A and B are shown apart, each in its own frame.
Chain A
């Protein structure tokens, strides 16, 4: 063992060397600064795993309990750190188990590189054991993918994979490597990729568009910003803050953009979308200028497009030209990285304030507070609400935690009520809405931001989709806090059944196991509360605990999340109850 490691290290210094494809894969990862990957071994990727064994001092491999978990962990890691997450799997079922995570990363623009083993070149197309066309399968859910069949291709293709995953609008890349390419030798010489001639990651900003946008901003009486994840991916938080502070423009966020500006910033008016805040939704249809920054007008944000912001001029700050006029026709498109374009527009905009307009948001907030928020976070009924649980997390963590959510009611409640001071703190499956995302993503988030508190907020349904990843948390003692809000229902679906299907609760009731015992089976400290008098202390104990901790909160079974824009309705028709 020792000698193998020693030689491995010594050779890193040499420029070009003769090594196997499998070793080349590891050296490429190291050259890209990767020190942590998630994955699951199997026949077709075994040569690479053999090299992982030799390089285990430099490259940590976390064995998730399912390949889907590896992708979500890589996503969680990428989303908190801004680095590329890496997941690895074998061919066939290993590879197909990556598909959900790839689709999630594709729609939420998460930089990820997945490496899969493949049967040997001469077996391709023979329906060999565990052969599956993962390049074909993953094409619609990857930014780029490629099958390597010769060892010599490995350095250049992996360099390209990392470049493509991270640059421009980030996304997942899958590289499939046939087994012969892992065994064969090559002269290894790694050069980082700095460009691909057919790919323009960031369009050149157009000064005319920026000037036009500035003119619209300076003329507007009721300007309004909605920002999305583009601000976080482009690391444009400071530039956005500077713009809204100089112009006095109220700004709202999509759930993917949440935390880019602190929750309590006076110009942060809240969340847009189906379960977003009242003012930010309704006033979308009253502003005279809508600045959409790094967001993509998802239907969960816009509701009915025919009645969306028709009265307003719309300026779209966007890195991806394919997003322009895709869902909403815009008056000015400012292409480029938000960090650059926002910095360029700043000197062109007038210092301003929009007190009366801001007051309209405050007024709407008060209405929402009286009808919804008050009952959510300071309820007087006996059953616990999800909202009050999140409030306790805010208090116990001092608004400093990374909140990783799964999908459903708890997700919407967490996005609505969690408070943040720091960017990259709300990790959620926004575009795909993948149940089972949170537990593995929280593992990745904790490893990507080890100094931060990471709290996974999960429903009892989604928790059981990837519950096996408790094994990772136990084995590696990853100190994530797991908070399951248990309503014994697939709550969000039940809510729709109640509101739109006359309470026909088809397959949404769940008979749940003893979650505390399950956590304890993994030797994870666990607790369960169902009464308000115990809640604050239980949440505090969870947050203060040094290691991994599981807390189940039994909440009211049939609570609904409001406000709500019924699907297909206008943002103006958002319901408070």
Chain B
């Protein structure tokens, strides 16, 4: 079976130990996490992990089963790229001189849909939110001029299908009234 990119979405309670528990599931199977993002979700008091892995569908299924088995996990899903809307954000810190001296950079900023977040005397910061390919392209464009710092976030994604977590929680409350 071929490896490909899967996005795993995990809805969970917000608990200190849970990140360790979830990353341990990957560690135990010697599977690398490509990126990981933890944030709040659309539901009050419910956290959302977005984990990207490059593996086979058989393995991603098993991993999701193991994640969902954890006590504090409400529900876990996996999706292919076609089934989600996903983005990453990158920050580029670049010497201010370039902004004024290099017309190419000015064009690049304008054409790339990136945003100047801040301008200091010595540097300015560009932010770009897009898919990985476009961020890479921008990186390649700027690299020859010198990038003082670069950072890219983990993938964040929403699925095209409905997740129905609220319904699940409601069902629990109704059954435990």
Segment at the B interface, from A142-150, A435-443, A449-457, A548-556: A142-150
Contacts known (A139-B17, A139-B24); A197 close to B66, Cβ less than 8 A = no
Q: How far is the CA of A140 from the CA of B68 in the complex (A)?
A: 15
* Stretch binding the partner chain, chosen from A205-213, A318-326, A401-409: A318-326
Instruction: Indicate if the CB atoms of B65 and A197 lie closer than 8 Å.
Output: no
Does any Cβ of B come within 8 Å of A500's Cβ? no
**Inter-chain contact B66/A322, CB cutoff 8 Å:** yes
Which residues from A are CB-within-8-Å of B21? 139
Which of B16, B20, B28 has the most CB atoms of chain A within a 10 A radius of its CB?
B20
Q: Does A126 contact B (CB under 8 A)?
A: no
Which residue in B24, B28, B62, B72 is a CB contact (below 8 Å) of A198?
A: B72
A196 at the binding interface (Cβ < 8 Å)? yes
Q: Which of B24, B68, B173 is the one whose CB lies under 8 Å from A321? A: B68
Alpha-carbon distance between A164 and B69 when the two chains are bound, in angstroms? 12
Contact of B73 with A by CB under 8 A: yes
> Quick one: which of B1-60 are within 8 Å of A by CB?
12-13, 16-17, 20-21, 24, 27-28
Pair B71/A139 contact, Cβ less than 8 Å: no
Give the number of chain B interface residues (Cβ < 8 Å).
Answer: 24
Task: Report which of B20, B61, B169 forms a contact with A139, defined as CB distance below 8 A.
Answer: B20
Say whether B100 faces chain A, with CB atoms less than 8 Å apart.
no
Contact present for A140 and B12 (CB under 8 Å) = no
Judge if B107 is at the interface, Cβ distance under 8 Å: no
Q: Are A197 and B173 in contact (CB under 8 A)?
A: yes
- B65 contact from A144, A198, A199, A321, Cβ within 8 A: A321
Encoded as 1 (CB less than 8 Å from any A CB) or 0, chain B from 62 to 90 comes to 10011011011110000000000000000
Known: A320-B69, A322-B66. A198 touches B20 (CB 8 A): no
Question: Is there contact, CB below 8 Å, between B65 and A326?
Answer: yes
Q: Is the CB of B17 within 8 A of A135?
A: yes
Shortest A165–chain B CB gap in Å is: 11
CB distance from A220 to the nearest CB of B (A): 27
Tell yes or no: B118 within 8 A of A by CB: no
Assess the A144–B172 pair: CB atoms within 8 A. Answer: no
* Chain A residue nearest in CB terms to B11: A198
List residues of chain B with CB within 8 A of the CB of A321: 65, 68-69
Q: Which residue of B lies closest to A322 (CB)?
A: B65
B149 contacts partner chain A, Cβ-Cβ < 8 Å: no
A residues near B28, Cβ cutoff 8 Å: 140
- The chain B residue sitting closest to A141, CB to CB, is B24
User: Smallest CB–CB gap between A199 and chain B, Å?
Assistant: 5
- Residue contact B73 to A198, C-beta cutoff 8 Å: yes
In the complex, the answer to whether A146 meets B68 with C-beta atoms within 8 Å is: no
Least Cβ–Cβ distance between B49 and chain A, in angstroms: 13
Shortest beta-carbon distance, B127 to chain A, in Å? 34
A139 vs B17: C-alpha distance in the bound complex, in angstroms? 8
In the assembled complex, A195 has its CB within 8 A of some CB on chain B: yes
Supply 16 further A-B pairs (C-beta < 8 A) apart from A324-B65, A325-B62. Answer: A139-B17, A139-B20, A139-B21, A139-B24, A140-B24, A140-B28, A147-B16, A194-B176, A195-B172, A197-B176, A198-B13, A198-B71, A322-B65, A322-B66, A326-B62, A326-B65
Q: Is A136 in the interface zone, CB < 8 Å from B?
A: yes
A198-B22 Cα distance, complex, nearest whole Å:
15
A199 to B73, CA, bound (A): 7
Give CA–CA (A543, B168) in the complex, Å: 55
Interchain nearest-CB distance for A321 vs B (Å): 6
Please determine whether B74 and A198 come into contact, CB atoms closer than 8 angstroms: yes
Q: Which residues of A contact B61 (CB under 8 A)?
A: 325
Q: What is the chain A residue whose CB lies nearest that of B69?
A: A322
Interface of A is mostly: mixed
Closest chain A residue to B72 by CB distance?
A198
Are B71 and A144 in contact, with the CB atoms below 8 A? Answer: yes
A320 vs B62: C-alpha distance when bound (angstroms): 12
Q: Taking the nearest CB of chain A, how far is it from the CB of B12, in angstroms?
A: 7
Contacts of A197 in B (CB 8 A): 74, 169, 172-173, 176
State in angstroms the CA–CA spacing of A322 and B172 once bound together. 21
Within 8 A of B (CB), among A268-325: 320-322, 324-325
Q: Which of chain A's residues has its CB closest to B25's CB?
A: A140
Asked if residues B20 and A322 are in contact (CB atoms below 8 Å), the reply is no
CA distance A143 to B72 in the complex (A): 11
The complex places the Cα of A326 from the Cα of B61 at a distance, in Å, of 9
For A164, list chain B residues within 8 Å (CB): 71
Which chain B residue lies CB-closest to A160? B71
Q: How far is the CA of A145 from the CA of B74 in the complex (A)?
A: 17
A-B residue pairs in contact (CB < 8 Å), sample of 22: A135-B17, A139-B20, A140-B24, A143-B71, A146-B17, A147-B16, A147-B17, A195-B172, A195-B175, A195-B176, A196-B71, A197-B74, A197-B172, A197-B173, A198-B72, A198-B74, A322-B65, A322-B69, A325-B61, A325-B62, A326-B62, A326-B65
Contacts of B65 in A (CB 8 A): 321-322, 324, 326
**In the complex the two chains form, what is the Cα distance from A237 to B83 in whole Å?**
45
Q: Verify A136–B20 contact, CB threshold 8 A.
A: yes
* Residues of chain A from 233 to 273 with CB closer than 8 A to chain B in the complex: none
Least CB separation from A321: chain B residue: B65
Q: Which residues of B contact A147 (CB under 8 A)?
A: 16-17
Q: Which residues of B contact A194 (CB under 8 A)?
A: 176
Residues of chain B within 8 A (CB-CB) of A195 are 172, 175-176
B144-177 near A? 1/0 per residue, CB < 8 Å = 0000000000000000000000000100110110
* Closest beta carbon of chain A to B55's beta carbon, Å: 15
Docked complex: A142-188 residues within 8 A CB-CB of B = 143-147, 164
What CA separation (Å) do A143 and B21 show in the bound complex? 10
How many whole Å from A178's CB to the nearest CB in chain B? 13
Q: Which 3 A-B pairs have the closest CB atoms?
A: A322-B65, A197-B172, A198-B74
Determine how close the nearest CB of chain B comes to the CB of A557; give it in whole angstroms: 38
Query: In the complex, A146 Cα to B13 Cα: how many Å?
Result: 13
- Residues from chain B with Cβ under 8 Å of A146 in the complex: 17
Contact with B along A119-146 (1 / 0, CB 8 A): 0000000000000000110011001111
Instruction: Give the CA-CA distance A557 to B21 in the complex, in Å.
Output: 45
Tell me how far the C-beta of A230 lies from the nearest C-beta in chain B, rounded to whole angstroms: 15
- Residues on A with beta carbons closer than 8 Å to the beta carbon of B176: 194-195, 197
Chain A residue numbers with a CB within 8 Å of B17 are 135-136, 139, 145-147
Neighbouring B residues of A139 by C-beta, 8 Å? 17, 20-21, 24
Chain A 189-221: CB-based contact to B (< 8 A → 1; otherwise 0): 000001111110000000000000000000000
- Please state if B71 and A199 are interface contacts (CB–CB under 8 Å): yes
Cβ contacts A353-369/B at 8 Å (1 or 0 each): 00000000000000000
CA distance A286 to B175 in the complex (A): 45
B168 nearest in chain A by CB position? A197
Whole-angstrom CA separation of A321 from B67 in the bound complex = 11
